[in-house]
Amino acid sequence: MRLALFITCFNDTLFPETGASVVRVLRRLGHEVEFPYDQVCCGQMHFNSGYRRDAVPLVRSFVEAFEGYDAVIVPSGSCTAMVREHSATVARTAGGTLPEGVARVAPKVYELSEFLVDVLGVTDVGAYFPHSVAYHPTCHSLRMLRVGDRPTRLLRAVRGLTLVDLPRAEECCGFGGTFAVKNAPTSAAMGDDKVSAVLESGAQVLCAGDNSCLTHIGGLVSRQHAGVRVLHLADILARTDALPDVPVYRPGLPGASDLVVGHAPGPEATR
């Protein structure tokens, strides 16, 4: 099976380690994954903002980059939903052969937990992560992809991990891409509610399948110095006895050895 990784703009820009984590997990399971260097944005921001014609070249580029693969793995429910649920609408705007191209490629695009559980048929990926974790189901993965309990089944199989319930888990965190920019006060208020739920859970780590939502929540957590880290599902599943924890982000010291994953713990966590 020829596999490809679509890293998404958000991960490529802010969380490249998450892409490396996806590759680590798949290699541990005996699969190689290719990274097509001509991949670009899926067009979600353009589509959600009403600029559907501007999304056409991006959708066309996605089809051209990934058409030759058997499966495309995406560490984002948000971008997976764009490709699977909305690319066809964009393609119809363009006409020509693009709709047929989208029809061929879109069904082969999987959010990470879908690919692991549904395609590979595994829940235990050999991970080790000795921390208490709460899982936040992001809106696109929950309401559009309907990934259900796939992420929590993967987390429950991680050795050493204690999965705790997140109160009011299905409430949106308030990020919503451009929503956070256009409606900042409302977005921040919704995020504060999510942070309250995270603190109520008592978890050391908040996990989700979208780094975009985790950035929003993590920013609010860090301002409260709450000592809770946020981590993408892939970054937890990649951990093993030999790679037991995630290097802590040290602001102001970027470099190859400083993996920008999660957020620096507050004063309470460093005591």
Q: Is the pLDDT of residue 257 over 70?
A: no
Radius of gyration over every alpha carbon of the chain, rounded to an integer in angstroms: 18
Q: Would you state the pLDDT for residue 181?
A: 85
The pTM of the full predicted model, rounded to 2 decimals, is 0.87
13-47 residue pLDDT tens: 999 999 999 999 999 999 999 999 999 999 999 99
Q: Would you state the pLDDT for residue 270?
A: 34
52-79 residue pLDDT tens: 999 999 999 999 999 999 999 999 999 9
Q: Is the pLDDT of residue 263 over 50?
A: no
Judged by average pLDDT, the poorest of 45-59, 141-155, 250-264 is: 250-264
